[in-house]
Structure 1
Amino acid sequence: MHHGITKPAIRRLARRGGVKRISGLIYEETRGVLKIFLENVIRDSVTYTEHAKRKTVTSLDVVYALKRSGRTLYGFGV
């Protein structure tokens, strides 16, 4: 069964956030939320890329897309 993001990867992210125990139902829900989040960030990143008349998405395009969604990412030159 192929899910893209693995259970251990989700568990590591949860641990980083301070979660000690995880219900088995969390994994599919997390995959769904992450899919929507990534679709939005990627769509906005591509919009920035196209607006700049480029074909390659840069890290700054992603940083601006994250900032637009209210999630500022530090350390990438903005």
Structure 2
Amino acid sequence: MVNERPGQSGGPSRPAPAGWPRASGSSISASPAAPRGLRPGLGLGKGSGGLGKGKGLGKANLKRHTKIRKDNIYGVTKGDIRRLARRGGVKRISATIYDDVRLALRERLARILKDCCAIVDSSGRKTVSVTDIVFTLRRLGNPIYGFEPHFLNNR
């Protein structure tokens, strides 16, 4: 074929460069079945090895699309905690309080979600509704206001 590069599978092969061993006496084969990265004489560049780990074993050598996993509770930022504290009437906030607030928020949310999941499982549903949250908060002793008439008519 006219448009085919030499050295590709099925096309005419060119002789190996001077530094390369011959295909018959080495472990590297120039047959079409061999991977492209192992065939001599192909200018494949840096990306020939594909995605994955490079020479070292560290995280810096991983290729693109590496997601750094972190705890999602840090999505509640320092500014968010400050705004909540201001709404509660706090004037000054200590620098060491933010992790404690995140821990308390996680524990409370886990308790609410555990009770909501128990309610949903017992009713045979797979979707958590607003009434489940309202019922759970009333059960825990912290009712949320604005949902009572609608909630009392359904149960």
Normalising to structure 2: TM-score of the pair?
Answer: 0.48
1:55 and 1:12 map into 2 onto residues whose CA distance is 34
Q: Which one has more relative contact order, counting CA pairs under 8 Å at least 6 apart?
A: 1
Q: Is 1:4 the counterpart of 2:75 in the alignment?
A: yes
Equivalent in 81, 98, 105 of residue 27 of structure 1 = 98
Q: Which amino acid aligns with 2:140?
A: S
Task: Identify the residue that residue 45 of structure 1 maps to in structure 2.
Answer: 116
The alignment yields a C-alpha RMSD, in angstroms, of 1.4
% of aligned pairs identical?
45
Equivalent in 54, 58, 61 of residue 132 of structure 2 = 61
Equivalent in 68, 74, 78 of residue 145 of structure 2 = 74
Extract unaligned runs of 5+ from structure 1.
none
List structure 1 runs of 4+ shifted beyond 4 angstroms. Answer: none
Whose helix proportion is higher, 1 or 2? Answer: 1
Normalising to structure 1: TM-score of the pair?
Answer: 0.92
